[in-house]
Amino acid sequence: MPLKARLQLAAALALLVGATTLHADMHAAPEGHQAPQDGHAAAQAESAPGGEQREVTVEDLHAFVAAEAAVAEIQHNYSAMIEEAAGAEEAEVLTDTAHALMVEAVEDAGLPVAVYNTIAHAAANNPEVATFLADLRD
């Protein structure tokens, strides 16, 4: 697999597709922020190996913002190393290491990877969610 494809794979691993929408309780939103609440925003994320579902909370959105910054830093740090790898085997090891670090960063932020993926997917497909997250980043 070409190195450029490996780099794209590393980035994609951080955003594996989860559910397509997001539900956050408006009353739990931080002061000055209103949680997304459109009619399509009621979904749940898998959070347990048994496939149990749970709602995504405003606290999850805050954790997502923290995890997202850590994941972006890992992607930035590893993308150059993957591009400069001596061969496919080294690139694969670096990709695997980057993936493991991204998973660890998400879990250290207090989110199951499935919830992180659900939020990332919702932000990419729902402008209201994307705007809410942008407000949290500010």
Asked whether the beta carbons of 45 and 18 are under 8 A apart, the reply is yes
- Radius of gyration, CA atoms only, the chain: 16
Asked if residue 48 is part of any domain, the answer here is yes
Residue type at 133 in one-letter notation? L
Structural domain boundaries, residue 40: 3-20+36-137
pLDDT above 80: residue 66: yes
pLDDT computed for residue 102 by the predictor: 96
Asked whether the beta carbons of 61 and 136 are under 8 A apart, the reply is yes
Asked if residue 30 is part of any domain, the answer here is no
pLDDT computed for residue 55 by the predictor: 85
Q: What is the mean pLDDT of residues 14-26?
A: 31
Asked if residue 101 is part of any domain, the answer here is yes
Taking the C-alpha atoms of residue 8 and residue 137, their distance in angstroms, rounded to an integer, is: 25
Looking at the DSSP bridge assignments, the partners of residue 45 are 54
In this prediction, residue 39 has a pLDDT band, given cuts at 50, 70 and 90, of very low
**70-101 residue pLDDT tens:** 999 999 999 999 999 999 999 999 999 999 99
Asked whether the beta carbons of 100 and 108 are under 8 A apart, the reply is no
pLDDT above 80: residue 113: yes
Q: What is the rounded average pLDDT for all residues in the chain? A: 74
Asked if residue 25 is part of any domain, the answer here is no
Asked if residue 115 is part of any domain, the answer here is yes
Q: How many domains does the chain have?
A: 1
Asked if residue 53 is part of any domain, the answer here is yes
pLDDT above 80: residue 127: yes
Q: Which residues contact residue 34 at a Cβ distance below 8 angstroms, ignoring those fewer than 6 apart?
A: 26, 132
Asked if residue 129 is part of any domain, the answer here is yes
pLDDT above 60: residue 13: no
